[in-house]
Amino acid sequence: MNNTLFGYKQRHTWLNQTTGTAKLVGFLALTSIGMLSYDTRFLLGLGVLAIALMRSAQIKYREYAFMLKLVLIFAVINLIMVAVLAPQYGVQLYGTRHVLIGRGYWALTQEQVFYECNLLLKYLFSLPLAIILLFTTNPSEFAAGLNKIGVSYKIAYAFAITLRYIPDVQRDYQTISLAQQARGYEISKQATLWARSKGAVQIILPLVFTSLNRIDTISQAMALRRFGREKQRSWYQEQAFKNRDVIVILGALVVVGVGIGLLFSNHGRLYNPFHTS
Amino acid sequence: MTTPIIDLQHVTFKYHAQAEPTLHDVSLQIFPGEKVLIAGASGSGKTTLLRLLNGLIPHAYTGDLTGELTLNGRAILDQTLSELSLQAGTVLQDSDAQFVGLTVAEDIAFALENDHRPVAEIKQAVATWARRFGLGARLDLTPQMLSGGQKQRTAMAGVLVDDGKLLLFDEPLASLDPAAGWEAMTMIDGLQAARDLTVVIIEHRIEEVLRANVDRMIVMSAGRIVANDTPTAILQAGILPQYGLDEPLYIQLLRQAQVDVRQLPDVADVQRVDVAAHATAIAQLRVPIQPSVHTQPQLQIAHLDFQYDKNQPLFEQFNTTIHQGEILGIVGKNGSGKTTLSHLLTGFLMPDAGDIQLDGQSVLSQSIKTRAENIGYVLQNPNHMLTKSTVYDEVASGLVLREVTTDEIETRVRAVLRLLDLDEMRNWPIAALSFGQKKRVTIAAVLVLSPKILILDEPTAGQDATHTQELLTFLTKINQQEQVTIVIITHDMHLLANFVQRALVVVDGQLLADTTPAELLADEALVKAASLRTTSIYQLAARLQIARPEELNAAIQQQTHGYNKV
């Protein structure tokens, strides 16, 4: 059946060959500066860069379609919530008020629309970067990368081992779900929501118990091979730093530099097209 | 005199969660270079003993411990789990769950990574050990892509990479098919000799473990050591059956031929034991095999196509018929489509083309729920099926969900519980049941819907001789009293040889053979293709030049059936 590791596949692109550490540092640098900045031009630039990188990583649309849809749904909900909960935040930020429709507190302003467009841009540039990081990095190497930039190796390993057992838990889930349907719980789309949710509970219980058993065995197997004995551990999948990695990190730093430069030239995080003095 | 590598003196251990000690006054010594089998039925305390040796007790399981335990002359209790792991490597029973790396290479490297050794050195060690275990070409594979045997070899490499001298195996045969089990035992034997290891094997399948030429056998029962001697002496004494263990099949056969096993030299080695004088007596035990008499077609599978992956068809134009009232076995190596086939029959999967007809009616349009009323399916792992808190509720749930009246539920549930000898436990909490009892509850829960066909996936996996025997008794009863057709997916050679009436060999989606178990086991090429392994009876028959060894199997079958009636 499906044997890819959560999207990771061996592809022969330069992004695949870059070490996990370099990609992780680059990802963190670009997303941090992108989250900090509200300069629309800069965010657009990041978006273009992210999409260009995505192309050169040769990841196919159907591989990340589900993730993309999930993030878009989340983004839209987020944008609506911002519009509902803080409809005048844009006005407050940019200091001007150009009403598009409506009036009073609930009026939709150009400033609000512009602000939310910036938010959307943040989603749009960070998602491709995250996809590249996950899809081009071997999970163990990724864990090694996390460990290298200072995350405790126990936490980093927890990440890798989660990916190791996801296919097993998925399989357990499917088996249990089918067995419970055979017993008579309706989980298929024909049944009412109530019947389906009752059926779902019947899956969770055995799944939790089998998973707990599994975790028990895993932790024993790890303890029996001295996991956690030393303060540090080495990583089989760790890659040596090459020139390419230095270039990736330098490139990321240049982009960060541009972002910081813009912070100064804009006198703050905002790029304000409404400012007319 | 050499000093023992393991020395236990008067060890008694009680888990905190339990009222009674699991081990009583256990004393044993294991010397360097020995291969020791620790045998015992479920609940005999053999797993607890292993946990004491590798330090999981007291580090992972706590309890009250008295007595002296030393490993390489140092008290086990004074050492950390890490220190112990450098001296004693453990290969756990579940070769899948203990595979912690994302790939073979990382799993072998795991211990060295944890020791923070340089990566270059680790890579070299991994390459060496992977080559030794025939895994050199599989370094980048994920556990999902490996067979049970390959996973177990990875586990062995991952432990031996420490260069430890003591290897502990917890039920190494449990997750392997017979051919892989045979290879594992051969490998353990060879490894021990080549690297001067000390090996401790915990198992209840004695017939297979004897292949590893063990030097000593320790038999446990109810938390005590009841025998500690050479396999020859223990087999001569004939004490295994009283402790819930099966003697090797050839020994059972010798006993039936009235051979006096008590004085027989080399009795633990089917290739060396000298019984030529008894060849005639043994040959006379042969029982002609009754051909299966079931001819009424019940379930017809016609032109079935199925694939998981677009480019990899599994079943193409698969045809077969299951007859009313028969006991059918489906065998074949792991991952070759046996479970997929049962999932197609139960509606868990839908075929791409073809038809499945029950009594002339296509079942393809029926939901999983409706199909379960005619074709019951018992999964291998009972924990995947059990959701209720008591035995009664669990068995009743299928009927409750089908809105049967309370009175009728009561009648039907009690009838099934009585049939499976569970009626007295009907108010027991599920959590208090043993693995074998849980298995029986899942069979009851499926049977209560009165299916015409009962499919069981590896029903004897993880069960000792006594429990297997009980299970077979129930299945025979269901088959004979309720006329339920029984389909068993299995690698259990005993089950195949002595219980199944007709066997389908499915390998890579192909129906390689549709035959009787006797003919299957007589065909060496077929046995190999199905990843099976003929039993010691065949080896003995070959040595004594007895033709038609399958008829000797039938002799043992008669004996076991006689035993059932007692």
Element (H, E) at B225: strand B224-229
Nearest CA of chain A to the CA of B198: how many Å? 18
- Asked if residue B263 has pLDDT above 80, the reply is yes
Domain membership flag for residue B494:
yes
d(C-alpha B489, C-alpha B457), whole Å:
5
* For testing contact with chain A, the best of B368, B430, B456 (most A CBs within 10 A): B368
Tell me, yes or no, whether B95 and B217 share the same domain: yes
Residue in A with minimal Cα distance to B370? A182
Tell me, yes or no, whether B225 and B319 share the same domain: no
Q: Taking all residues of chain A, what is their mean pLDDT, rounded to a whole number?
A: 87
* Cβ–Cβ under 8 Å, residues B191 and B185: no
CATH code (residue B174): 3.40.50.300
Tell me, yes or no, whether B514 and B546 share the same domain: no
Poorest-pLDDT segment among A131-140, B349-358, B548-557? B548-557
Tell me, yes or no, whether B333 and B219 share the same domain: no
CA distances from B518 to A133, B223, B246, B261, B381 (A): 57, 39, 21, 27, 29
- Asked if residue A273 has pLDDT above 70, the reply is yes
| Per-residue pLDDT tens digits for A4-21 | 445 677 788 899 889 989
Nearest CA of chain B to the CA of A30: how many Å? 29
CB contact under 8 A, A224 and B119: no
| Per-residue pLDDT tens digits for A226-265 | 998 899 999 998 888 889 999 999 999 999 999 999 999 9
B565: CB partners within 8 A, 6+ apart: none
Domain membership flag for residue B163:
yes
Average pLDDT over residues B400-416: 93
Q: How confident is the model at residue A50 (pLDDT cuts 50, 70, 90)?
A: very high
CB contact under 8 A, A172 and B385: no
Domain membership flag for residue B433:
yes
| Per-residue pLDDT tens digits for B313-344 | 889 999 999 999 999 999 988 777 888 999 99
- Which string of b and e fits B1-29 if b means at least 16 CB within 10 Å? eeebbbbbeebebbbeeeeebbbbebebe
Domain that holds residue B271: 246-285+537-566
Reduce the DSSP state of residue A118 to 3 states and report it: helix
Set of chain A residues whose Cβ sits within 8 Å of the Cβ of B167:
none
Q: What pLDDT is stored for residue A63 in this prediction?
A: 82
| Per-residue pLDDT tens digits for B32-45 | 999 999 999 888 99
Tell me, yes or no, whether B444 and B532 share the same domain: yes
| Per-residue pLDDT tens digits for B155-172 | 999 999 988 899 999 999
Q: Taking all residues of chain B, what is their mean pLDDT, rounded to a whole number?
A: 90
CA distances from B32 to B86, B115, B194, B278 (A): 16, 26, 14, 38
Look up tokens 């009250």; give the residue: B64
* For testing contact with chain B, the best of A159, A208, A234, A235 (most B CBs within 10 A): A234
Q: What pLDDT is stored for residue A6 in this prediction?
A: 56
Tell me, yes or no, whether B218 and B346 share the same domain: no
Tell me, yes or no, whether B310 and B436 share the same domain: yes
Average pLDDT over residues A119-130: 92
List the one residue out of B540, B443, B459, B545 whose CA is nearest residue B494. Answer: B459
What is the separation of C-alpha A72 from the centre of its chain, rounded to a whole number of angstroms?
A: 12
DSSP calls for B248-284: PHHHHHHHHTT--GGG-TTTT-TTT---GGGHHHHHT
Domain membership flag for residue B1:
no
Domains held by chain B: number: 3
Set of chain B residues whose Cβ sits within 8 Å of the Cβ of A158:
none
Domain membership flag for residue B292:
no
Domain membership flag for residue B505:
yes
For chains A and B, CB pairs below 8 A equal: 167
Domain membership flag for residue B466:
yes
- Asked if residue B200 has pLDDT above 90, the reply is yes
Tell me, yes or no, whether B548 and B521 share the same domain: no
Say yes or no: ipTM exceeds 0.85. Answer: no
Average pLDDT over residues B408-433: 91
Tell me, yes or no, whether B384 and B351 share the same domain: yes
d(C-alpha B448, C-alpha B416), whole Å:
6
Tell me, yes or no, whether B265 and B362 share the same domain: no
Q: What pLDDT is stored for residue B456 in this prediction?
A: 95
* Cβ–Cβ under 8 Å, residues A115 and A90: yes
Tell me, yes or no, whether B74 and B146 share the same domain: yes
Average pLDDT over residues B40-54: 90
Tell me, yes or no, whether B277 and B305 share the same domain: no
Domain membership flag for residue B290:
no
Nearest CA of chain B to the CA of A198: how many Å? 11
Q: How confident is the model at residue B565 (pLDDT cuts 50, 70, 90)?
A: very low
d(C-alpha A225, C-alpha B158), whole Å:
8
Q: pLDDT exceeding 90 applies to what percent of chain A?
A: 45
CB contact under 8 A, B309 and A1: yes
Average pLDDT over residues A126-132: 92
* Cβ–Cβ under 8 Å, residues B404 and B482: no
d(C-alpha B461, C-alpha B334), whole Å:
14
